Amino acid sequence: MKTQLALLAPAQVESECLAVVVLDEGEADKPQPKVQTTDRAVLDSVQEVISAREINGKIFETVMVHRPVGLKAKRLLLIGGGKAQDFSSYELRKLAGTAARFLKPKGVRSFAFLAPPLSSGAANAVKAIAEGAYVGNFDPDTYKSDRKDQSLLEMTVVAAEPAGRAELETALERGRIVGESQNFTRELVNEPANRMTPRILAERAQQVAREVGLQCEVFGPDKMRELKMGAFLSVAQGSEEEPRLILLRYEPADAPEKPVLGLVGKGITFDTGGISIKPSEGMEKMKYDMAGGAVMLGVMRAIALLKPELRMVGVICATENMPSGKAQKPGDVQIAMSGKSIEVINTDAEGRLILADGLYWARQLGATHLVDAATLTGAVVVALGYINAGVFSNNDAIYNRFEQAEKRAGEKMWRMPLDSEYMEQLKSTIADMTNVGGRPGGAVTAAMFLKEFVGETPWIHLDIAGTAWMEDNKAWIAKGPSGIAVRSIVEFATDLAGGKA
């Protein structure tokens, strides 16, 4: 989708449709809708709609006005943004996605979106609109034989302020890059497991690295054995598909030697559970178990284009988890790259095994800060539902910086505990630790397992099992992969770089 900026009066914008936000400025039981513009022509053209209370400003309300008088746009789309006092870039992203999803099936291929005033500034509004529109423009129906591509081809973000064009253009470009990278992540996660094997995921990593200028190396089982990645290899041994260890590097010439941000992603391209096999119902969704790895590919793509002055390494551990005569068995003991011995109680707790070696290797590669992302536990869904991702950290200062980045990115996450007492649940009588700690606090004990492999390195762990896949169609996003965490990690990396991007 082509994106452009227009510094024009809204009435002068030529487009198939102009989208305008309507906020409720009234009390709880007395809605008072107000169109977010001072343009007289726009206000006059919607006066009857507002007077008739066809729209009250309720979040995601949509009303189309055809042939609006006094406007060069062919249509005017009013979108409710909720209560004015609660309105922020978080809601604005969703409204831009709502506009895209509302207009696409109506045959509209280009539209304009009027940036409403935000307390965080016009640049933030422009960026949020671009990000949200790209998210709304994605559809997962890739393999339908009768698929009709309804994608929007062009979007214009209208900012009525004549000043600050350079800042707004930069914000728009940043929003485009991040939105495209989030959709790139979603494309990878959407692929079925027969079309997204570890080998294919590695090829996609190499392809995107060539396109954006990243360094990329891909390794097979021989390298993993050389590195003594016994935990990773134990998961891979049950599959006919060879595992892949993917390494991406971003090393700008002007960046200081430190910090070095290490990104580690879980890339289980299909998870049957192994010998501890999952129930058949819903297993088809387990193609999404590589979402953490896809997130890190999306982040590295965005970083290469945004060019912050920060050194980064990306590690994606890609394999299938399959049952076979070669698969590891409950009770097996595996030796991780760090030298720790692990009693595998449940082979369906495989993500933490591959991440253990991935996190340790990222430290060996020089990472001074670590972020991992994984669809790690069903327990995080029990704890937080499908709204918030779980965040764990061993360092309060780094967590506080990440929290601010996540809020700027407009993604919902909630910090979970890492109290030392939880390690009691991971005690083994035969090895250093078990790979599961029972049902109580399952998301926490999984994070505690990973914590054993990061040492004192400041670390953020994102359990995105409940948020990496949208269970239903929403006004602003299609059912299917969400691409969560791409925006937050990009914001965090930019912050570590001192904001230079």
Burial class (CB in 10 A: 0-12, 13-18, 19+), 100: buried
Identify the active-site residue in 278, 407, 412, 415. 278
Listed as own residue / partner, the contacts of 207-210 with beta carbons closer than 8 Å and 24 or more positions apart are 208/184, 208/297, 208/300, 208/301, 209/248, 209/300
Residue 352 annotated to the active site: yes
Note if 278 is an active site residue: yes
Distance, CA of 248 to chain centre: 18
| C-alpha–C-alpha distance, residues 18 and 7, integer Å | 14
In order, the DSSP letters of 84-121 are: GGG--HHHHHHHHHHHHHHHGGGT--EEEEEPPP-TT-
End-to-end CA distance of the chain: 23
- What is the 3-class SS of 476-497, one letter each residue? CCCCEECCCCHHHHHHHHHHHC
Structure tokens at 185: 């992540």
Which of the following is catalytic: 266, 352, 401, 487?
Answer: 352
In whole angstroms, what is the distance from residue 306 CA to residue 268 CA? 28
Q: CB of 298 within 8 A of CB of 185?
A: yes
Residues near 214 by beta carbon (within 8 Å), at least 6 away in sequence: 208, 248, 249, 250, 300, 301, 304
Give catalytic residues, as residue numbers.
Answer: 278, 352
